[in-house]
Amino acid sequence: MTQPPRADPPDERFEVLGQVVERAAVLEIALRMAFCTLVGGAYAAVVASSQETHWLIENCDAVARRHADLPAGQRDAIRMALHACREANRDRNMLVHEAWGTEASGAPTALQSLRRSYQVAGRKWTVPQIRAAAEAISSAQHALLAAVENAFGPGCLEAAGQLLAEAAAERHG
């Protein structure tokens, strides 16, 4: 008689990692909005809509650094927020790629091939550390939107969101 597959014990890390993934997706949307606002024009959304987080951070920073229409203080505030985004994204990447090298108990994860088992040693991420990474992502996203809105005015993000929605509709429609 075959035994049913063994169910993995509950692991709270899965739930909080979902928060990290969701907040990182929202950060990416905020970065697209920032890019559209910084660059301006209808085609900025076409470019931004297919880019990944790292590209968006680096290119927003390059544009902000040279944006002659903004006072230095506003450029610096945007760049500081982008630095926080860069750090939060780096931590997210480390978390996503390292957290699964250990089981919830802290034991190394075993990968099985046809012939043998391999121990994968990764950094042990605790639930509070994962929650802190999620919070850092949210904080960076809020700081970026606040800095962009402060620099370009209250309607700028709505306009960028509209451009991105139109680009998405064209891409998927």
Residue extents of the structural domains in the chain: 14-172
Taking the CA atoms of 161, 162, 163 and 165 in sequence, report the sign of the dihedral they define: positive
Q: Quickly state the pLDDT bin for 4 (edges 50, 70, 90).
A: low
- CA 134 – CA 99 distance, rounded (Å): 14
Whether the Cβ atoms of residue 15 and residue 130 lie closer than 8 Å to each other: no
- For the segment 144-153, the average pLDDT, to the nearest whole number, is 98
pLDDT at 18 over 80: yes
Whether the Cβ atoms of residue 55 and residue 81 lie closer than 8 Å to each other: no
- CA 101 – CA 96 distance, rounded (Å): 10
Q: Quickly state the pLDDT bin for 99 (edges 50, 70, 90).
A: low
Helix, strand, coil: what percent of the chain each, to 5?
Answer: 70, 5, 25
What is the pLDDT, as a whole number, of residue 3? 60
pLDDT in tens, 24-79: 999 999 999 999 999 998 899 999 998 999 999 999 999 999 999 999 999 999 99
pLDDT at 6 over 60: no
Whether the Cβ atoms of residue 31 and residue 56 lie closer than 8 Å to each other: yes
- CA 126 – CA 22 distance, rounded (Å): 18
Whether the Cβ atoms of residue 74 and residue 147 lie closer than 8 Å to each other: yes
